[in-house]
Structure 1
Amino acid sequence: MKILSQSFFALSVLLMMAAADSLAQTAKEPDAIIGIYQSPDENGKVEFYKERGQYFGKLIQVNTSQNKVKVGTIIFKDLTFTNGHWEGKIYAPAKGKEFPCNLSLKNNKDLEVKVRSGFLSQTREWKRLNN
């Protein structure tokens, strides 16, 4: 019985630490996302801006010779700010499709982008290039 209560205590402490870490990474200001970010593969830069109460991310530089995506393409669409993160859609040029995404600021600077496709999800970090 003592081992069970110690295990429960340890699990409770871990869950509280995880919750505190999660809360520490939520943004307080919706406009905090506005700025320029480097893609994880370093093949492009995206500028986030606000329009009609929603946020968008437009490709402003492409470092690859692939013709599937061009400067000016809107990569992130219809992002809305809720509970410290942004939800919307991301356009994947390689697949020619949009996917649901969830964005959150990491260390109040870089973006953590989580993309969902069915039951699968993938998280990547985009580096902020400006303040």
Structure 2
Amino acid sequence: MNLSALNVFCGGILSTILYWVMTPVMASEVDLLAGVWKQSGKGIWLEIKFDRAEGTGRVARNDKKPASVGEAVLTELTWNASTGKGQGLMYAPQTKSRHGATLELPSGKLMTMKVKIGFMSKTVEWLRVEDIRLPEE
């Protein structure tokens, strides 16, 4: 076996070991963001789920527009544990398009989402919730 082949072989083994060692760490980090979040002061709930390293936020409940439940409004979501920030694309119904969003977790129960549209930006607070039951009728 020549030296080049040995380097490739060892590199492959090292990559596999690193993948298996780091996967549980990455999973626990995205778990910080995964779950159900209620927009502060609004009747909108968002459920964030991750498939490996990329997440999607879908409407879990919307008191004003129940037909929107299930729609993916936050896409291409990634979480960077070293910066403590997430990046994704948030759908803005006003413009009917997706815009860059930055997510932060000031605490385990509070998430801030800053959406930038052109020169303007808006920061929205989301509160972690455990229960999304519909209101009594």
TM-score of the alignment, normalized to the shorter chain, above 0.5: yes
For structure 2, which runs of at least 5 residues remain unmatched after alignment? 1-27, 132-137
Paired position in structure 1 for 2:130: 130
Q: Which amino acid aligns with 1:80?
A: T
Paired position in structure 2 for 1:32: 32
State the Cα distance separating 1:55 from its structure 2 match: 1.0
Matched, 1:75 2:73: yes
State the Cα distance separating 1:108 from its structure 2 match: 2.3
- Per-residue CA deviations over 1:32-82 (Å, capped at 9, x if unaligned) read 0011011234221111100242011110111004x8x61110011001112
User: 1:124, 1:108 → 2: CA distance?
Assistant: 16
Paired position in structure 2 for 1:97: 97
Paired position in structure 1 for 2:8: none
Matched, 1:118 2:118: yes
User: Quick check: 2:30–2:50 contact (8 Å CA) kept in 1?
Assistant: no
Paired position in structure 2 for 1:42: 42
Paired position in structure 2 for 1:51: 51
* 2:31 match: secondary structure: helix
User: 1:90, 1:40 → 2: CA distance?
Assistant: 17
* 1:33 match: secondary structure: coil
Identity of aligned residues (%): 26
4+ runs deviating over 3 angstroms:
none
Bigger radius of gyration among the two = 2
User: 1:70, 1:126 → 2: CA distance?
Assistant: 18
> RMSD of aligned C-alpha atoms?
2.1
User: 2:105, 2:54 → 1: CA distance?
Assistant: 17
* 2:68 match: secondary structure: coil
Q: Number of aligned pairs?
A: 102
CA pair 75-30 structure 1, distance change in 2 beyond 3 A = same
TM-score by length of 1: 0.69
